[in-house]
Structure 1
């Protein structure tokens, strides 16, 4: 397990490096991420590389048994490069060129930028590909965290991308339905990028653009990965980078993960009662390669931001946060940053040590965590989160739902609803994974589909096969309605989804916050919102109906046996209380039990990692400032605190316990 931090030796006088490394060693730090903003130091002048400062730092870090994850930079370029060719500046949709005076303002498709970034990565790989002090390669930083570029390079690449996909212009016109508004194109060369215009763009146009921009980001990662691998001789050095779950939707991370050995992410959840609001991002990240992952930026001390809420960690919260990431599948945790920045745009960012390099209050907690992790790491090595339940997380569908348009309505609904489903499962005390459309559905007994507007024949067949083999799947509105070009299927649903649901959609009704809608399931009334699909059942059984409005009596919840499994359809977006009751019912029906046999108290997280031999490590974490007590179904050993627990446990404020359950217990 890596326990590390993000460190910037280029910000620090060289004679102070050893002082910092000593503090790190005393805190149990064994790895550092460095280099993502150091292009100018690596290459002070074009073609003149200087790694002497890094050589010196590596000698010191090796002395303190601290290994490095090196970042070949790409998108924070030296001044000499922009002076050489200013056309690599990003052009925004409004037509503005981004200035050099900030980061990530350069076009990742520009051939000169790509060439120079590859040359630097090759030079770094050549020098450090066999260095024992280098354990991994972190490709640039937060790729995709920049505005879409509309420069001439991107415009030409976009048109070529379209021609490669559709081959003939009439094929594109037909697929997109450009006859609407009379927008048929005569040549691929005439297709613009989606810059500012009068009204909305064709949804097919935007869907293709989002896929194109994602492909560009994946291609940038691939170029850097290939450059490093071309010179990397030590197979133990892994290749990774960090994504931005969940707020950045610009990249299909399932595709990006194919270029990586280990996936990584950044994690900046709020402190306090809202500490788990971003937790789904960890589940998604471990699903990218179906394996443990690394957190390359984890928040720690509070940020000095006036009026910021949920920002200041109480004593114990850093321990809870760190163990929360490990509980959810992290095998590497790096705090960002090690030292506060006295200059630049992130001066107010919290850190482990202060502006002068002296320990902050957070340092002592970091040190205590590091001491315990040295005992824990070999015990849980090789374990990962094991789940019977997953939410289906689909980038093409999210892109479509999040199109900014008056015709879209609430374009935050996708991420809101998938979070509601995920957290409903977790609050009941179950593990919950995320799974992408290319993932292994067969691992799960239950898959929850928040919505899935974009489907093709291959995905529909996969959903049918999963259900026919005994899986249980729960659909919601806006599932199976459009093809890959964001055009409706003629019967409102893909024919295979109609078979799977055993029903057809007749029309949709919508409602606002001032017009509450209710439905009845198992003799109880629940509230629902936003959109309600009015369906006609064919083979499905109606088990819940709308209870008011003019569509009272229409099906609200249906179920259809399909092969050995079941397909459920909740035809509206229900309140959280419904999912609490529904999931309790359905998990009981298919034989899924909570990890500790009960739903945990409010603010208590229960998550399980499991080893290949069946040993379960059950993390119990108190997200509350109050002492919390709970009863479990059997006594277990707590390996985090080196205690033996009875069947009644007490959790101190922000307290952590790791309970061990062996296969035969």
Structure 2
């Protein structure tokens, strides 16, 4: 394992080197600007005579920037090799005339019809073997060498045309690069996957060893025999090791596709112009932690579309408080800089059901983005479309083209509020000591998520729900949270939570031990340490690599049907579980914090805690539905560490940023925010009603 650890350290060093330029992405955004606000506009979708009126209206509303071109390839290159920027030049000049900066986009999600007709091999193929057709977006294969050639030519042309244009603020590559929950099984992807495997394993023997292909006689004689693992084409389940590698490949393919565009643009654009893309946090086929080729990464967020009913009877009109919060803490933590490139502007058209947001909710979302450290917020879109696939999707301006929608009025209000807040900005403000002492890392690796999504072992296992049970508790404690990857320095954080960290190696366990011995407080949870990085079970006792760290053995795990409840006792409190439970056997010197109280192993240990050096390690065996046990365990960890915590109700979050405290209320009841007597409310009221905000300074 020594050689493997050396290789991993080398990879980490390389990734850090690749991100050196991105570390200074903060330079693009003056701190005194706090957070700027803009809106998408599509000049190609509206008659020319409306452009001047619409862009002037954007300026009147108070928008600082707009966003052009991510779906406009057929207008930029109407015929093969013939580029037309005249219409876009006109729109850019109108924006400049009205004091609005421009984010320019590459149009790679929407290739023109002439290209697809000429080169159908650029289309992606889904798991059912269906070749996608022209008529929507993101229907092409990132692996297609033909498509990449067209991308290179188009990006080169737009980069040369606008690269030295000071009216351009920054650049967005593609738009929500993904295949919307699907994977690409095209011939081009198949060829690229084999090349990826060959680069990783060098020889087919090493691939056979890593994938355990002796099982079911899957063994390969050469890389040409390897097929993308596709459950739709297999009688039984595919190799889990192959599935894990395919998901890694797919994420790397997206990163390579974006990096291709980045490198072309950087040759032509001004150093003051930044380059990003926007990802959807819940879409697993493209993971932000693997995007290391840009200046920074932004996110898309829609909270009210019927998928998350939030908290309380009107929660479906506000969404979950963790939705924006988790995206903030993940994307900001990648390199310290992020923004919301696409935020829901009101009612949408594509959800399970498309409710009206509660009055005030849109304003609350914008302020929540501010609280999470975002440099800008851009809403999608300025005008509600009259044609196309999103006719029922709200805009800032309604269907008459002149009247602000209800959410448009909320944007206007926030823009004015932020302008007021700028007057109170203090460049010398520092994070309050009590708040900083609660600073917590949540360790996240998409490999764990992908591996467990493929082998959940129970229909009740949900990796992100499990992670967010801990995350929600941390936010209720008022802890500032960074969702980090292993390449980060652990020593900055008094507390670290690594939920369900199933895949690991000796190097990570050693780093955890060092973190704890130096005074850190580590919390691990069910399924941690079961497998190595390839997804193989260890040839030793179950999860044995973590025994010395947690001071306990994992005897076995249990899973219950959804109609049966397991019970747990911790102190005087009782809890229930039925998703997953690691049954523990503590070693000498390790404390028992909770025990199982039913099933045949009643009296066995559920939660352990031990001291190590100047820190502690806590292991939580069960995964509950309500998160009550997880919250209680975390609270005890903080208490014993001497770290004071808050106790905000579900749906209420309070964060500190740039000298300002920001509270948001996604709950169903009013909440009175406790603040010092000298605290000065700048925005809102100390009593937060549902879907409302308070901003104050101590």
Query: Does residue 608 of the first structure (1) align with residue 656 of the second (2)?
Result: yes
1:583 aligns with 2:634: yes
Task: Tell me how far 1:117 sits from its aligned partner.
Answer: 0.9
Counterpart in 2 of 1:547? 597
Deviations 1:265-302 (A, max 9, x none): 0011135354414132222111221x131101111221
Q: Who is 1:369 aligned against?
A: 414
1:618 counterpart residue number: 661
What is the match of residue 47 of structure 1?
81
Aligned equivalent of 1:242: 278
Partner of 1:296: 341
| Contact 1:617 1:660 survives alignment (8 Å) | yes
**Residue in structure 1 matched with residue 383 of structure 2 by the alignment:** 339
Secondary structure of the residue aligned to 1:640 is strand
Residues 66-100 of structure 1 show CA distances to partners (whole Å, capped at 9, x for unaligned) of 00111112121001111221111112222211111
Q: Cα offset for 1:625?
A: 6.3
Query: Are residue 110 (structure 1) and residue 119 (structure 2) matched?
Result: no
Q: Do the aligned partners of 1:26 and 1:367 also contact (CA within 8 Å) in 2? A: no
Q: Is the 8 A contact 1:264 1:296 kept in 2?
A: yes
Kindly state the Cα deviation for residue 546 of structure 1 after the two structures are TM-superposed.
1.1
Distance 2:556 2:522 in 1: 23
Question: Which residue of 64, 67, 72 maps to 2:101?
Answer: 67
Partner residue, 1:389: 440
Please tell me whether the aligned partners of residues 318 and 358 of structure 2 are also in contact (alpha carbons under 8 angstroms): no
1:195-249 alpha-carbon deviations (Å, 9 max, x no partner): 32111001101011111111101101100111110111x211001100101x211
Q: Which has the higher strand share?
A: 1
Counterpart check, 1:556 vs 2:591? no
1:569 equivalent to 2:619? Answer yes
Q: Of residues 439, 446, 453 in structure 2, which corresponds to 1:402?
A: 453
Task: State the shift of 1:314 in Å.
Answer: 2.9
Measure how far apart 1:38 and its partner are. Answer: 0.4
Partner of 2:235: 198
- Matches of 2:204 and 2:340, distance apart in 1: 44
Note the 1:468-547 alignment, pairs <5 A.
Answer: 468-492=517-541, 496-539=545-588, 540-547=590-597
Secondary structure at 1:480 match in 2:
coil
Name the CA shift for 1:523/1:482 in 2 (closer, same or farther; >3 Å): same
Decide whether the 8 Å contact of 2:229 with 2:239 is kept in 1.
no
Please tell me whether the aligned partners of residues 139 and 179 of structure 2 are also in contact (alpha carbons under 8 angstroms). no
Equivalent residue of 2:37, what SS?
strand
Deviation at 1:651, TM superposition (A): 2.5
Counterparts in 2 of 1:15 and 1:282: CA distance versus 1, 3 Å = same
What are the within-5 Å matches in structure 2 for residues 95-494 of structure 1? 95-146=129-180, 147-195=182-230, 196-232=233-269, 234-245=270-281, 247-256=282-291, 258-270=292-304, 272=317, 274-278=319-323, 279-289=325-335, 291-303=336-348, 308=353, 311-358=355-402, 359-377=404-422, 379=424, 388-403=439-454, 408-410=457-459, 413-492=462-541
Which is worse superposed, 372-381 or 537-546? 372-381
Distance in 1 (CA, whole Å) between partners of 2:453 and 2:352 is 29
Task: Report the number of matched residues.
Answer: 640
Pairwise CA distance, 1:592: 2.7
What is the alpha-carbon distance in structure 2 between the residues aligned to residue 304 and residue 139 of structure 1?
Answer: 25
Task: Work out whether residues 604 and 621 of structure 1, in 8 Å CA contact, stay in contact via their aligned partners in 2.
Answer: yes
Q: Is the 8 A contact 1:542 1:559 kept in 2?
A: yes
- Quick one: structure 1 residues 569 and 284, their matched pair in 2 at CA, closer, same or farther if it must change by over 3 Å? same
C-alpha deviation, 1:460, in angstroms: 2.4
1:430 and 1:593 in contact (8 A); partners too: no
Aligned partners of 2:141 and 2:184 also within 8 Å: yes
CA contact (8 A) 1:388 1:592 kept: no
Cα distance change on mapping 1:334 and 1:136 into 2, 3 Å: same
Deviations 1:2-54 (A, max 9, x none): 20011111111222112112221122101112111001111111111111111
Match of 2:647 in 1: 599
* Matches of 1:164 and 1:624, distance apart in 2: 50
Cα distance, 1:410 vs structure 2 = 3.1
Is the contact made by 1:122 and 1:230 (CA closer than 8 Å) also made in structure 2? Answer: no
Kindly provide the CA deviation profile for residues 403-458 of structure 1, in whole angstroms up to 9, marking residues without a partner as x. 1x6x6323751111111111112123333321122223222111112201111233
Contact 1:341 1:355 in 2 (8 A): yes
CA-CA distance at 1:497 after TM superposition: 1.7
User: Does the CA contact (< 8 Å) of 1:469 and 1:564 recur in 2?
Assistant: yes
- SS across alignment from 1:293: coil
TM-score by length of 2: 0.87
Q: From the superposition, tell whether residues 306 and 142 of structure 1 become closer, same or farther in structure 2 (CA, over 3 Å).
A: closer
Question: Structure 1's 457 and 396: CA in aligned 2 closer, same or farther, altered over 3 A?
Answer: same
C-alpha change, 1:378 and 1:460, in structure 2 (3 Å) is farther
Q: Is 2:672 aligned against 1:629?
A: yes
Which consecutive residues of structure 2, in runs of 5 or more, have no partner in the other structure? 1-34, 305-315
Greater displacement, 266-275 / 192-201 = 266-275
Q: Sort the Cα spacing of 1:16 and 1:299 in 2 relative to 1 into closer, same or farther, 3 A.
A: same
Whole-Å Cα distance in 2 between the matches of residues 412 and 525 of structure 1? Answer: 22
The answer to whether the Cα contact below 8 Å between 2:458 and 2:559 also exists between their aligned partners in 1 is no
Partner SS for 1:204: helix
Question: Residue 565 of structure 2 contacts residue 578 of structure 2 at CA under 8 Å; is this kept in 1?
Answer: yes
Deviation at residue 130 of structure 1 after TM alignment: 1.6
- Whether the aligned pair in 1 keeps the contact of 2:321 and 2:652 (CA below 8 Å) is no
1:3 matched to 2:60? The reply is no
Further displaced range: 93-102 or 629-638:
629-638
